[in-house]
Amino acid sequence: MLPLLKNGLYLICLQTLHHPKKSPMTDINKLLQIMAALRDPQNGCPWDIEQTFETIAPYTLEEAYEVADAIQRHDMQELKEELGDLLFQVAFHARLGEEVGEFDFTDIVTAICDKMERRHPHVFADEKIATVAEQSREWEKHKARERESQKSAVSGVALALPALVHAKKLQSRAARVGFDWPDISGPLVKCHEELAEIEEALEQGNQQQIADEIGDLLFAVVNFARFADVDAEAALKGSSGRFVTRFQFIERKLSGQDLTTEDLSLEELEELWALAKYAEKSMRDGE
């Protein structure tokens, strides 16, 4: 008996390899059959038949975001449904790949199983890793070895990632080959430098230069967040959420007086904004 059979992922992979072109789970087979029927040139769904990898990609991203949203809201029922929607996207891409003779669902499963085994030698082989930190370092080493054929340390970062996530991944890749600040003071100074360059671009009135300098500032802020061990994407979402809460507080205050934000001066709006922040803090602190 192989001790690795106690791992569910390995068992699924083993069954897949022993039964090529067959899913180890009946429900997966049913999903693949549904997908094939939807794409049938004669009797399928006209919309599904027209789709390509390129036209489906935005829906794949949208479903991934909806999974993340359900997790943030701790809605397990919706999470189950959104994961199903995301799985359907995988089945859709698998069907497209099968139709052009490039790959099918079994190939996708086999590839991810092989990758997980390769990147977890402490689970599927004899290598010993004691801590999470050590595991993270080893994971990155395995990924780096897999990228050795690439010409650049910053190659292969998916362009479709959210801009802040994409920036952080580029910075992390560069840092692994020594292109990094020694401490957090460097990124902080860089943020100030980029802000000054925005002011200079504004004085010159060059719109493209303004856009470039704003991009440089955002990139510098992401780098600062990386050094501060803060997820820039999550931090920005948090700020957006607080903005909504505070703005709606102001709207409620004004609606009781038959007013809107357009009826107030900037100074009056600033006062209400400060009040909204105070109310938010009081609620957070349980006062």
For the chain, the maximum distance between any two Cα atoms, rounded to a whole number of angstroms, is 77
| Of residues 86, 91, 125, the one with CA closest to residue 106 | 91
What digits encode the pLDDT tens for the residues 181-211? 999 999 999 999 999 999 999 999 999 999 9
196 or 144: which leads in pLDDT: 196
Say yes or no to pLDDT of 83 above 60. Answer: yes
Say yes or no to pLDDT of 23 above 60. Answer: no
Q: Residue 51 and residue 92: Cα distance in Å, rounded?
A: 9
If pLDDT is split at 50, 70 and 90, which confidence band does 118 have?
confident
CA count, 13 A, side-chain hemisphere, 235: 13
Pair of tokens at residue 206: 């060059």
What digits encode the pLDDT tens for the residues 232-271? 999 999 999 999 999 999 999 999 899 999 999 999 999 9
Residue 217: count other Cβ atoms within 10 Å of its Cβ.
19
Domains in the chain: ranges and CATH: 3-124 (1.10.287.1080), 154-230 (1.10.287.1080), 233-285 (no CATH)
The percentage of residues in the chain with a pLDDT greater than 90, rounded to a whole number, is 66
Query: Do residues 171 and 222 lie in contact, with contact meaning Cβ atoms separated by under 8 Å?
Result: yes
The angle, 0 to 180 degrees and rounded to 10, between the axes of the packed helices 76-99 and 105-119 is 110
